[in-house]
Structure 1
């Protein structure tokens, strides 16, 4: 299993020139660019699993290609600040007939050799025949250690959870009774205002919980871009990691406009890659705030969707290529003073999807806190790096413990 291990070092603390390329407006590191690197790393890991650890150059005639089908999750476990050197690493932990699950990790490297896990995530890659573009078989994993078997079992658990989420998706089955009750309560408190009083639904309204109502449709934020060949991947399509960065930055801007304050990245709650984005196409990215909530540790949590559509210039028709889901929290524990309210049934289903995503994120963070982790507001106890921290030694307990919290 460890043969697929790859890592990428980003010496931000020791290279001012590199840091300058990644610095954001707040003096920190651009998270969207790190997500772009993680997608590229996951692709490299998948090809390494297929071609073997000794292959360093990707040829054009290997008879197959690998694409990112989805990203299950990426969770922030600790702050990116202060700026330190970063190590991005990962490996294949599970294989199906034509699919691979790649676990990735981002770690901060202290000057004294200590390490701190910053982010964990999972990419779901699929293999395609280069001629027919149909599913192609992948190499099975060789499970030689107890840790290998435990990681593979975790991959099986993740697969079962994906199936369960798919079967319970709101585009397949109706909401649960508790979700329907929650929606009805929201309608009585916020949505019915205007129709029952004779006042306009567009007038400002503050609900019984003191939050200002904002219609979901009014949170729309979008941008259109031409897709240039400089951002192409090895398949001559637009690189998925680049799309992740664009979506992240638009969602971030929308979250800040909605809250009126600086926000911190909490999690990427899922990405679906439905179709490739061709070079030369016009891409329309559209973002909405789907749900907001608060908790003891997070006075303000904002769940955002970004949808990517390719626009046909001749007909004006659009095809959805990607769906991105992100969660941010308000910085400095600033509470959210606005509440997103759906108007239509479709928006209501999106509102419930956002609610489900925030509930899942809360469950994962609860497990993390129970295991002694700090979350993005704390400082995780850091550990001394082993001298022989190569790919094989980094597999096993560290990966297993980290994955079990997801």
Structure 2
């Protein structure tokens, strides 16, 4: 079988799962400009949500960013929170709320704060969180940041609130990567987890595919066609420096980081056929994982680094398999449907997300690995490239919604979806980065 993926020249190591039921190409995408700013639309209703009021931060009217709106959107997008209107209130981090009033409004918690521009041009962002049911002060934080980090301060405030009320880490201050095509130009973007504040990491007249975050969040591996063939690079996000990892005979693609960040799994055709290898994150000689007469590609490591999930047509059609990194016979994981690709694993190892072709449509599926139970969680028909949030609560993916390319997040049950939609152009290949270390 001759499978192709997002290239103007054949790449025989990935499957023809692209949108609109064809072997898709980034070259065939719309020539509309890439958009770095996204609007968030929340759809759906979750089963259990925390009712929370986010009061307008004092002084945010003079701030370039409306902190309270960013915090509110973050919390809503998680699927764990429901907003209670606080738009007419005048509160800050020093205010002690009348808890009876907020209980009557239906809120269980309240956050309020302030934004102050300092003499040196930086901004002082402060907030406090209250449990209005118990009348308890749950603490707060303050950040002094340059103007360019105001959104980051808001995301960190949302992370604090999420952790205090949901009991687990928030992912709002993490980053995502994705690829766009505008005319003849391909761009690899790094953006906030809500899709805003996108910055270009790489631009090229040749295709860029398969971006993958390193476990530290400081590097991106990806495949570039600058050499008129697929070649794997590792790119330092902060400095822009990059190094060549795999440029062997034939195709070099589908990089996936090992959990320790010291090596990557890649798909190479150097020895004939598309096969899985591991290679040092500094480059060097790759180690072949197994012998196969089929196409093996799209590897992804388990969180403990002991297993690799991958896609293979060894049974006649693309399915997802699992094998030990140390070797041995692979075992098949997906059995529902005849075409399953693009595996992604939650950090806790409980869930596998993937894309299944169902009646000509490409739909996001979520499998509970322990039971094998599978749920189809979208109503769109061109889903691709699922990637879990680092806390395992959300999945990022690309799709076409209402005729437009879109980045989406969804809860694992599909009940809450957020569209991070551009105004046009081709948006795809998203990958959600790891938790960021706090300064």
TM-score range, shorter chain: under 0.3
Q: Which has the higher contact order (CA 8 A, sep 6+)?
A: 1
| Structure-1-length-normalised TM-score | 0.25
Task: Choose between structure 1 and 2: higher strand proportion.
Answer: 2
The structure whose residues are more often helix, as a share, is: 1
TM-score normalised according to structure 2 size = 0.23
